[in-house]
Amino acid sequence: METVLEAAGLTKKFPNQRGIENITLEVKRGDIYGFFGPNGAGKTTVMKIMTGLSRADRGAVRIFGHDVTRDFEKAMQKVGVLIETATAHEYMSGYKNLELAARFYADVDGKRIDEVLELVGLSPFKREKVEQYSLGMKQRLGVASALLSRPELLILDEPTNGMDIEGMVEIRELIRRLAEQENITFFVSSHLIHEMELMCNKVGILYKGRFVEEQAVADILNGPYASLEEYFIKLVQEERRLEQVEQL
């Protein structure tokens, strides 16, 4: 199966000594890859490096075979991105925001804007100013913007942030539907472990900037663990035990 996204040895340290160390992972075509870890684990740092928003001290990222640092335009040509909280022009409508974003793509027209608004459930509100949107609605607009160019890979950082339960379910089902029906690959971060379990076929666990484990969700649930949450807690407990041993 084709490798869509690969990271090798990603390392980045900040002045406060936090950061990420030696992150290596691989995402295959059609995967819904869940990048999971507690707040502050380094998920957003990794995703910013993947999308060229930050530069690693060491290591490399390749998307569709192209190095993100050396060949950025080709690497990102088929990629849609939502990193951290979605941003938009508050004084403009949701539709107008997408119309503005569409100028960057040669083949995105009004029909496509209406399509993505329908996909994320914002069609009834497309003429409202974004300043009237809730946080969850703004996240939906961010997902819509990421979908505009018909990407083959979507990199989404906490896409359900601020959404109610109904919204989370709708976005989860949208991601699963796009992966199954259109073979779109997803790399999705979250700290909501139940969402990861229901949505993803594979997860990578990050803890304090280190890549702890990578497993197929089915293998985890068919093993000795009743849930992804139980699996994660066991991993974290083992990591903390090793930290205590190292400090002795």
**pLDDT tens-digit map of 128-154:** 999 999 888 898 899 899 999 999 999
Highest mean pLDDT among 35-49, 53-67, 136-150, 186-200: 53-67
Alpha carbons 113 and 41: distance in angstroms, whole number = 35
Residue 41 has pLDDT above 90, yes or no: no
Mean pLDDT, residues 52-77 taken together: 95
What pLDDT is stored for residue 238 in this prediction? 85
What pLDDT is stored for residue 37 in this prediction? 83
What pLDDT is stored for residue 248 in this prediction? 64
Residue 66 has pLDDT above 70, yes or no: yes
Distances (CA, A) of 26 to 151, 163, 211: 18, 29, 12
**Are 154 and 187 contacting, i.e. CB atoms less than 8 angstroms apart?**
yes
Cβ-based burial of 180 (10 A; exposed 0-12, middle 13-18, buried ≥19): exposed
Mean pLDDT, residues 29-34 taken together: 95
What pLDDT is stored for residue 163 in this prediction? 82
Helix, strand or coil, per DSSP, at residue 83: coil
pLDDT digits (tens, 9 = 90+) for 80-134: 998 877 788 999 999 999 999 999 888 899 999 999 999 999 999 999 999 999 8
Alpha carbons 95 and 111: distance in angstroms, whole number = 11
In b/e form, how buried is each residue of 22-57, taking b as 16+ CB within 10 angstroms? Answer: ebebbbebbbbbbbbbeeebbbbbbbbbbbbeeebe
Alpha carbons 139 and 161: distance in angstroms, whole number = 7
Strand order in the sheet with 153-157: 66-67, 58-63, 3-13, 19-28, 210-216, 202-207, 32-36, 185-190, 153-157, 79-82
What pLDDT is stored for residue 190 in this prediction? 83
What pLDDT is stored for residue 60 in this prediction? 96
pLDDT digits (tens, 9 = 90+) for 167-223: 888 888 889 988 988 889 999 998 788 888 999 999 999 988 999 889 999 999 998
